[in-house]
Amino acid sequence: MASWSELPLKYRLLIGFYRWRTLTSTPWAKLAVPLREARVALVTSAGLYRPGIDRDFGGGDGGDITMRLLPSDTPLGSLVVGQSSDAFDRTDVERDMNLALPLDRLRELQALGEVGSVAPRVVSFNGSMLAPGRFVRDTAPQVVEALRADLVHAALFVPV
């Protein structure tokens, strides 16, 4: 388990006062097909992007609420971590992007017949945001639209 004690002091102070969100109700959708037939999408909060192609993620008050859609055949080694937070050590993620975006692993499970297919695009956003209201209101519908357009059956979410 990650522990707050890993974090720099400024974050530990902040976390003591932070109002963690609670969903008023928990939505529930059922998987429409067996996993071995399902098209599965990955969503990462590492703010991964393709330099020279995608816009970098910024910081600013409340964080950068935008998202990037990356083709799933993008070489993992060509991606850059755009996460604005210095609350985690990114050395290992940069060494192996599967820690934030396990595309190689998902493809292996597809090859083994455990999942149907890998969605053609992954969703990438910068999860470092204190005030997520605008993100939920403005960005989440874009994510839903992209996942629907890609006809995915399920989505897996990976934080950093």
Partner 1 sequence: MCTQSVGLLAAEVEKAGIPTACIALVRSVAETLRAPRMLAVPFRFGHALGQPNDADGQRAVLRALLGLLASPGPGPVLVDYGPR
* Residue position matching structure tokens 């209201």: 133
Does residue 160 contact residue 97 with C-beta atoms inside 8 Å? no
User: Which of 13, 53, 144, 149 forms a contact with partner 1 (CB under 8 A)?
Assistant: 144
Number of amino acids touching partner 1 (CB under 8 A): 65
Instruction: In angstroms, give the least distance from the CB of 71 to partner 1.
Output: 20
Count how many Cα atoms sit within 13 Å of the Cα of residue 66 in the half-sphere of its side chain: 12
What is the pattern of x (binds partner 1, CB under 8 A) and - over residues 107-126? -xx----xx---------x-
Question: Is residue 30 involved in binding partner 1 (CB under 8 A)?
Answer: yes
Q: Are 35 and 118 in contact (CB under 8 A)?
A: no
Nearer to partner 1, 52 or 148 (CB): 148
Dist. CA 40–CA 141, nearest whole Å: 18
Residues 37-56 that bind partner 1 (CB under 8 A): 38, 40, 43, 45
- Binding range to partner 1, per CB under 8 A, among 52-60, 72-80, 102-110: 102-110
Contact between 80 and partner 1 per CB under 8 A = no
By CB neighbour count within 10 A (0-12 exposed, 13-18 middle, 19+ buried), where does 71 fall? Answer: exposed
Q: Give the distance from CA 142 to its chain's centroid.
A: 14
Nearer to partner 1 among residue 122 and residue 129 (C-beta): 129
From CA 37, how far away is CA 115, in angstroms rounded? 6
What is the bridge-based pairing of β-strands 67-71 and 121-125? antiparallel
Name the site residues for partner 1 (rule: CB under 8 A): 1-4, 6-7, 20-23, 26-31, 35, 38, 40, 43, 45, 85, 87-90, 92-93, 95-96, 98-100, 102, 104-106, 108-109, 114-115, 125, 127-130, 132, 135-136, 139-141, 143-144, 147-148, 152-160
